[in-house]
Every structure is written in C-alpha cells, then in structure tokens.
Structure 1
Amino acid sequence: MQRKRVSSVLKYFFFLAFGLVLLWLSFRKLDMQEVWGEIKKADYAWLFFSLLLVLISHVFRAARWNMLIGGLNYKTRLSTTFSSVMIGYLANTAVPRMGELVRCGVLSKKENIPFNALFGTVILERMIDLLTLALLILGVIVFQVRLLRDFLHEILGPFAKKIFVNILDITLFVSVLLFILVGAFLLLKKNKHWFEHHPFYLKMRRFFRGVYDGVKTVKTMKHKWLFLIYTFLIWFFYALMVYVPVMMFPETSRLNFVDGLTLLAIGSLGIVAPVPGGIGAYHFIVKSILVELYHISPDIAISFATITHAGQTLLNVVAGSLGYLYILLTKTKKPCNEKS
C-alpha cells in the first residue's frame, strides 16, 4: 500500500512537471509584456457568456447521469447529482481522474446508492464521451482535411516513424504480455476452487458485479433517445463554450463555428491528458492550433489559451466549492434511497 501511494505521488509530480515544461514551451520566445497587454485588452463578456454555457452543459450531464442511475432502479435529485458532478470537476482540477471517484463517493453517501454501481455508470459515460470525441475528431478531419493535413503530418509523423522503426520491439512486447495473461488465466482456472472462497476474491467479485450492473444500464434505462439528446446537447454546448470566446480578440473573431469545433476536438486532447488541470498541455495544443492552422499571432494565441483555461479552472473551483457547500447544507435531508 505504501509503495503504491509513493508511486501515485511520483506519477502525479511527473505529469505536473511535464505540464509545466509544455507551459514553458508555450511561453518561451514571447514578450511577456505584450502577452499581458493582450490579456488586459480582451473582451471578457464573451468569456463569462461561455462559462454560462459550460454550466448548462454540466446540467445536461447531471440529467444524463440521472437517467443511468434510474436504470439501476435508484432515485436521485438533479440538484444533488449536479453538485456531485461539479465537486468531481473540482477534484479533477487538482488530481487527474480523481473526479470520477469523488463524484461517485459524494452521491453514494448522499443518496444511499452503491458506489460500485455508480462507478459503472461513470465508466459507461466516459466510454460514450470518448466515442463522441473520436467521432468529432474524425468529422473535423474529414471537413478540414486540407487545413489539417500538414498539421497532423507534422505532429504525428515522428511518432509514426518511431512505431514502424520499433515494430519488432512492439511485437515482442505484445507477445510477452499475451504469454503472461494466458499464464495468469490458466493459473486462475487451475486454482479456481481456492480463489472462489478467498475473502478478497469475493469482495472484488461483488465490486465488479456492481460495476457491470452500472455499465449495462444502457440496456435497461428508459427513453434512450432522450439520453442521446442529452449527449448531443452536452457536446453542442461544449462547442459553443469553445467558439464564443474567439470573440474576445479581433484577430480570432474571424474564426467560424467549424473552426471552433476544430479547437474543441483537438484541444480536448490537452484536457484529457493526465496533467493536473490540463495545465501546459492545453496551452501548448491550443496555441499550436491557432498559430499553425489559422495563422494567429503567438501573443494572441497564448493569451486566448491562458484566458480560457483560467476561466474554466476558476469555474470548476467556484462551482465545485458551492456544490460541496450545498451537500453540507442539505446533509440532514432525507436520502432518496433511505435504508429501511
């Protein structure tokens, strides 16, 4: 346990350092006085409007999560679910991927819903969102193929070369991994009787059965079309969230909605990267897109990335803190699934 904790801490600081390096690369060779001047000249009314759109998307996310929870035959309030979602985003700001666990823990305790079942619904949510993001990236590549061709070749070219050069190493690694997995499976099968009666095995089996129950709610939930509509609205408001702030600067205001989708699709890779709060990775990717694809000046590009990232981070902190306060103030409120 102690070794695992040390490993987690080292991993956290590694990705934090990686993000800071990307942040330094984003700002190097720039005149900080000019960047600060651009930041001060921005029209922040558009930023506040975009943050309102983010909150609306989170409301739809909470409503969509309620549908999955309802598929488990549990009840929950939209206000409680929304607060749990925002607390999760607050946790993600500090520790990547922690938010999924935190929001499940908060809602589980508040509404008496099994944690593992909630975690299964979140896994399903993430799978659907990743599929949506992949389709969005594919759509952007198709509709912006001429614009993205050189950019993607420059970014992915070195990685592709390394993959083909090291194809023998990759094949060897996969072969060894398969050998280990097959060996572990045969060992488990041979000692199945012993494992089935071990307390740890029984505990993990119950946990993963609950997770599976959460994942399969996609089959049991009602109004599946409403679920798809919620998913569309979540990502539509995400797109507006990215597009609206381009109005902050005259230089970026010439970008259209499709350009905003491009920013969302590729810029999201900076947010999903395992870097605390997406710091550095988001700045680096968004600046690269604006400079390389749309020929925006580096000062404006990094100012845009800095302002939008700071705004989203501030929203997560404020809304997450208010969500936590709401959970505390309603602590004595009867849970929706009170134990008899």
Structure 2
Amino acid sequence: MNKRLKQIIQVSVSLALAGWIFWFLYKDIALEELLVQIRSSNWFWIGFSLAISLLGFWIRGWRWTLLIREDEGKKVSSGDAYHAVMAGYLANLVVPRAGEVARCGVLVRTNGVSMGHLIGTVILERSIDLLFLVGTIFLAFVVERELFLNLAGQLVDLDSLGAKLIDNLPLFLTIALILVVFFWIVFRRFRQHSLIQKIQQFTRELIGGIKRIGELDNPAGFWLSSVFIWIIYFLTMYTVSLGIQSTANLSLGEVLLVMVMGSIGMVAPVQGGIGTFHALVAFILIQFGVAEEDGKIFAAIIHGTQVLLILVGGLVSWAIVMKKAAWIKPAKP
C-alpha cells in the first residue's frame, strides 16, 4: 500500500472514531444548554487557566532546550523551542502524533539542528512524561483510594476476589511463575523479532536517557521543570473547575483524578484527544456526583478553550517560524 494512502486512511479512521465518540456523548445535549453554561461560567478563572497553559507551553519549550546540544546547529533559545512546540501542538490537531516530528522539523529549518538528534530528545521527553503520568496516577490512587476501590468494586466483587486469591494462592503463584518463564523463553527465542527488538530498544533508550539527564549542564532544571509541567496541568484543570458552578466545589484530590483521566484521554491516538478526553472526564465527574450533562459540558469547555488557545497560539508561532525561516539563506553547496 502506498505510504501516503496509508497515512490518509489512518488519519481518516482516527478522525471518524473521534467524531463518533464526540457525537455519541453530546447527541442528547441541546446547544442551548451549552450556551447557558458558557454564559454563566466565571471567565476570569477560565481565562486564568489559559494564561497558566501558555506558561506551561513555554516551560516545556525551555525544558527541551536543556536536551539539545549546543554543537548541534545554531543555539536554540527558549523562544525558538516554544514556537516549535506550539507548531507541534497545532499539527497534532490535524494528524495524531505528527506534532513530535513537526516541532523537530521547525528547529531543523530555523536552527539547523539535525533531525536525528531532535527525535532522540523528543523520545526522551515523552518517556519521562510517561513516567510522570504513571506517578501521577499512583498519587491520585493514594489521594482518592476509596474512590478507586469503589470504581473497581462496581466492576468486580473485591471481597470475593480477595478470598479466592487467598484460597488458591499456591495455584496463582504457580501460574505467575509459569508466565514469567514463558515470557523469558519468548524473549530469548524471538529476540530477533521486530516487536521484541522495539520493546528492548525502548527500554534501553529510557534507561540510557535517564542516565544522560544526569550528564546535562542543568539536570536539576530538567527535573524541576518536568514536575512543574504537571503542576501546570493540575492548575489548568483546577482553575477551570472554579469557573464552572457545577464543579466549583470539587476537592483538590478530585480535581487531580479528573486531570489524570483527562491525561489518559489525551494519550489516545485521535486528533487532540477529541472524544476520548470528553468521555473520561465526564465519566469521573459523574462519579463525584456531578450531573451527566454538566460533566460533559465541563469537558467541552476546558477542551474547547485549550484547542482554541492552541489554534491561535499555534498559528501565531507558525507564522513567526515561517518568517524566520524565510530570512535564513540556504547554505551554499
């Protein structure tokens, strides 16, 4: 199959899936309800959340500069990295995951940094972000442990399951040992298989990347900015919750769990998390006693304002990048 045709099919399927999920969620909500909620919201807090988001984008760009070696082309400033990041977010609204390559392409064009080096830094960034996501999920579990257990209890009988585990502990330990041996044999037997090699390569790159962070000129800045990026995510969600009447009374722990669900929704391979973000955020808000319609409208407001911010900010950054690239004369052969 032609590569371009394959990409078109993938984008079309992704967009269709996102559109179907979004339609299914909002088909019963009248436009008037959404408009009433928008008019009754406190737009000071929502506007503040957008300002916080912009700060987060800038910090993400600054963190990226810490990973880019100075001997790679022209020095990348925080402003250069910020505009590249915003252009990448803009690309993600069109093609899922295209933003990572797009932002690297921006710095290749404007600063002459090699694509291979930039892709390596992005892979490391995303790996660290994944670790922070897992850590944030664990933190949310600690803070809202009862809710986690209640949700799990709705799916399975935890008491019954625990009793069965204790009664059949030798059997479960044997099965676990067999699975460990089985996967060890599979990894040894099929170590040349592309999937196994990709898993091993990702693990090696992650471990090697974490070691390289310690060799940076400013490793403390990298880790602190990574923490602050996730604090920014939380503050963005929290300020929006303050601006909407139905969610203004959520506790910090509940907002943290909403943020976790939203982050998981954004990981889905659809344009800008459309549909998946809305579904997961609305679902968890319903568990907190928020009316179903209000939960869906909250998700629509926070996602819609963020998309609008990325559209405006991304287009501005893209224009600045194109203008800067036009000033750069191509090197003579």
Q: Normalising to structure 2: TM-score of the pair? A: 0.80
1:45 aligns with 2:39: no
Q: How does 1:258-337 map to 2 (within 5 A)?
A: 258-292=253-287, 294-331=288-325
1:235 to 216, 225, 230: 230
Partner Cα distance (1:280, 1:274) in 2: 11
Residues 214 and 326 of structure 1, relative CA distance in 2, 3 Å threshold: farther
Q: How does 1:1-340 map to 2 (within 5 A)?
A: 2=2, 4-70=3-69, 75-152=75-152, 154=154, 181-182=190-191, 217-292=212-287, 294-331=288-325
Displacement of 1:239 in angstroms is: 0.7
SS of match in other structure, 1:220: coil
Residues 301 and 214 of structure 1, relative CA distance in 2, 3 Å threshold: same
Partner Cα distance (1:116, 1:156) in 2: 47
Q: Deviations over 1:76-111 (max 9, x none)?
A: 111111100000000011111000000000111111
Residues 219 and 72 of structure 1, relative CA distance in 2, 3 Å threshold: farther
CA contact (8 A) 2:14 2:269 kept: yes
- CA RMSD of the aligned region, Å? 3.4
| Higher RCO (C-alpha 8 Å, min separation 6) | 1
Displacement of 1:45 in angstroms is: 2.0
CA contact (8 A) 2:72 2:112 kept: no
| Aligned sequence identity (%) | 30
Partner Cα distance (1:149, 1:21) in 2: 31
Residues 326 and 154 of structure 1, relative CA distance in 2, 3 Å threshold: farther
Displacement of 1:151 in angstroms is: 2.4
Partner AA of 2:98 in structure 1: M
Residues 224 and 41 of structure 1, relative CA distance in 2, 3 Å threshold: same
Residues 108 and 181 of structure 1, relative CA distance in 2, 3 Å threshold: farther
Aligned residues: 303
Residues 176 and 41 of structure 1, relative CA distance in 2, 3 Å threshold: farther
Query: 5+ residue gaps in structure 1?
Result: 158-166, 186-210
SS of match in other structure, 1:82: helix
SS of match in other structure, 1:330: helix
Partner Cα distance (2:17, 2:56) in 1: 30
Query: 5+ residue gaps in structure 2?
Result: 158-174, 195-205
SS of match in other structure, 2:93: helix
Q: Normalising to structure 1: TM-score of the pair? A: 0.78
Q: Deviations over 1:53-79 (max 9, x none)?
A: 011011111111000003766621111
Partner Cα distance (1:72, 1:150) in 2: 54
